[in-house]
Amino acid sequence: MLSLASNAAFAQQASLPTSTTGLHSNDIINDEQTIPRRNSAISEKKREEIRKKIEVIRIWRLTEVLKLDTDTGAKLTSLLSSMDLKRKDVMKDYTQAMKELRVYVESAKPDESKIKMALNTIEKKHHDMEDIRDQELNGLRNILTVEQQGRFLLFQHEFNREMRKMLAGARGPAKVKGAQESGGGRLPNAGPGSQQDK
């Protein structure tokens, strides 16, 4: 559906929208651009607590919006939890590769072989995220009715927008490196598989 850009694009922008299901709690919490590490960095434990709270809210609201019975709700929760765990692992590797890429590119004498290695890892993580998205969509087809699938996608979009706004409000105004004063530029990303709001 949505395709990856060339390796050169990966070096210029941190993320490409590749998920039709939107961001998930791992995407929102794991990306250091989403929750910047300022003077007192958020500990991994705290990040995990926030992620779990967001996930509980998401599942509770999904159950209401989709009008799920207990059995269907349990199946959906199991599917989403397993996909989120996979996303968490991919995001960890992606974030590390992006950090390495920055170091390699900004070094006094950039080593093309190291840059290429980082770009390849980033591209692989985009593919991995697409695979997870496809697995999730296939799982949703097996659990939800067609109408519920549509409601799920709409819910994801709105829920993620709400979470972004809430997180942005909590951290206050912050300049995004490369963004224009007039409000242009890209929004902070959430890594591979993210979907930028329009």
Q: What is the total count of domains within the chain?
A: 1
pLDDT at 122: 96
pLDDT at 48: 79
Please report whether residue 141 resides in a domain.
yes
Mean pLDDT by 10 residues, the chain (198 residues): 31 37 45 42 76 86 92 93 93 95 94 95 96 95 95 92 82 56 42 49
Domain encompassing residue 145: 21-34+42-170
Please report whether residue 57 resides in a domain.
yes
Please report whether residue 52 resides in a domain.
yes
pLDDT at 177: 54
Please report whether residue 186 resides in a domain.
no
Please report whether residue 10 resides in a domain.
no
Please report whether residue 162 resides in a domain.
yes
Please report whether residue 134 resides in a domain.
yes
pLDDT at 173: 64
Q: DSSP for the chain? A: ------HHHHHH-S-----SS---HHHHHH-TTTS---SSPPPHHHHHHHHHHHHHHHHHHHHHHHT--HHHHHHHHHHHHHHHHHHHHHHHHHHHHHHHHHHHHHSSS--HHHHHHHHHHHHHHHHHHHHHHHHHHHHHHHHS-HHHHHHHHHHHHHHHHHHHHHHHHHH---PPTT--TTS-SPPP--STT-----
pLDDT at 3: 30
